[in-house]
Structure 1
Amino acid sequence: MTKIAFGSDHVGYILKPTVMKYVESLGYETVDYGTYSDKRTDYPIYGQKAAEAVASGECDLGVVICGTGVGISLAANKVKGIRAVCCSEPYSAQLSRQHNNTNVLAFGSRVVGSELAKMIVKDWLDADFLGGRHERRVDELGAIEDNSIDEFKKIKDSNAKKYLD
C-alpha cells in the first residue's frame, strides 16, 4: 500500500485531518509528522520531517500544508531527493507528477478550501510520471542538486533512448 507522509504547521493543521481522511478513503496509508495542534510553530520543522520520510523511503509521497503552501514547500525542497510543488489548483498538480515526477505536494489552508484541496490531491495522486523527455529534465535537476556540472552536461547532451520520446 502506498504510504503518504503528511506535515503541517499550525495554520495547515486546520485542513490536514480532512485531507488525510480523504486520502485514506482513496486507499492510501497516511503518516502524520505533525504538528498536532493549532499552537503557533514553524513550518520548516514539519516540511523537513515529511520530506525526510519520503527521501528515506519510509513513505512513498508527501503532502505538506501551511498558510500558503509556499514556505513549507521551500522547506521540503531543501531535503535531498525531494521535488516539492506548491499548487492551488488540480491541473498544475497533475502536470507536476507527469512532467516533473514531484514527490511532495504542498498547498495553503488560507488559499484553498477542503473540497479544492481534495481535488488537487486526487489529481496529483492519480497522475503518473511520463518519463521520456521529462526524465532528462528530472535527471538534470538531480545533477543540479548534486552540484555536478559534468553530470548535468552529460545528461543534457545525451541521446539515450530513455530521453527520446
Structure 2
Amino acid sequence: MIALGSDHAGFPLKEVVRKYLEEQQIPFKDYGCFNTDSVDYPDQALKVAQAIVAGEADRGILICGTGIGISISANKVPGIRAALCGDVYSAKYTRLHNDANILAMGDRVLGEGLALEIVKTFLETEFEGGRHQRRVDKIAQIEKMYSK
C-alpha cells in the first residue's frame, strides 16, 4: 500500500502519479490535498508519515513545489526515511542502501516523464540489507537519542 500526498504546489504532479498508480493497479490511499487551494506542506507530510509508522502503508510518495519542505517535515517523524529524489539513480539507491520509505519530489523542478520513472524505480527497488542494515539501524539509534 502506498500513501500519497501533496501540498497545493505539488497537486498537479500528485494527480499524474495517482493516475499512474491506478493504471499499474498499485494499491494506494490519497491523503490529499485534493485541489490547488493553499495548504501547509507539513500537514500533508504528517498524514503520509503517520500512515507509514502506523502500518497502514508500506511506502509513501510526497510532492510539494521543490520536495524540500515536505521531505524535511516527513523526516521529523521517527521511523521515517524520506528521500528527496530528482533522478532515477537516487531513487534506486535510496531504496537499495537507505531503505527509504517515502519518496519526495518537486512538482516545479521535475517533468512528468522523469517523475514517473523515479516513482517506478522507487517502487520496484527493494532494500539490499546486509551492510546497509547496520547503517539504517544507526539512523534509528539517532532518532531514539532525540525522541521524547
Q: Shorter-chain TM-score category?
A: over 0.9
Tell me which structure has the larger Cα radius of gyration: 1
**Residue number among 49, 54, 57 corresponding to 2:55 in the alignment:** 57
Tell me which residue corresponds to 1:139: 137
Tell me which residue corresponds to 2:8: 10
Deviations 1:32-54 (A, max 9, x none): 11111101111000011011101
Tell me which residue corresponds to 2:29: 31
Residue correspondence of structure 1 range 145-160 to structure 2 within 5 A: 145-147=143-145
- Aligned to 2:28, the other structure's residue is in SS state strand
Q: Distance in 1 between matches of 2:4 and 2:18?
A: 8
- Aligned to 2:97, the other structure's residue is in SS state helix
Gaps of 5+ in 2: none
RMSD: 1.0
Whose RCO is larger (CA < 8 A, sep 6+)?
2
Deviations 1:96-149 (A, max 9, x none): 00000000000000010111110000011111100011000000000000008x
Tell me which residue corresponds to 2:106: 108
- Name the TM-score, length of structure 1 as normaliser: 0.86
**Displacement of 1:21:** 1.3
Q: Percent identity?
A: 50
Structure 1 runs, 4 residues or longer, greater than 6 Å off: none
Tell me which residue corresponds to 1:68: 66
What letter matches 2:132 in structure 1? H
How many residue pairs are counted as aligned between the two chains?
Answer: 146
Q: Distance in 2 between matches of 1:23 and 1:98?
A: 21
Q: Distance in 2 between matches of 1:143 and 1:29?
A: 31
Gaps of 5+ in 1: 149-165
Tell me which residue corresponds to 1:46: 44
Deviations 1:49-107 (A, max 9, x none): 01110111001110000000010001111111100000001110110000000000000
- Aligned to 2:18, the other structure's residue is in SS state helix
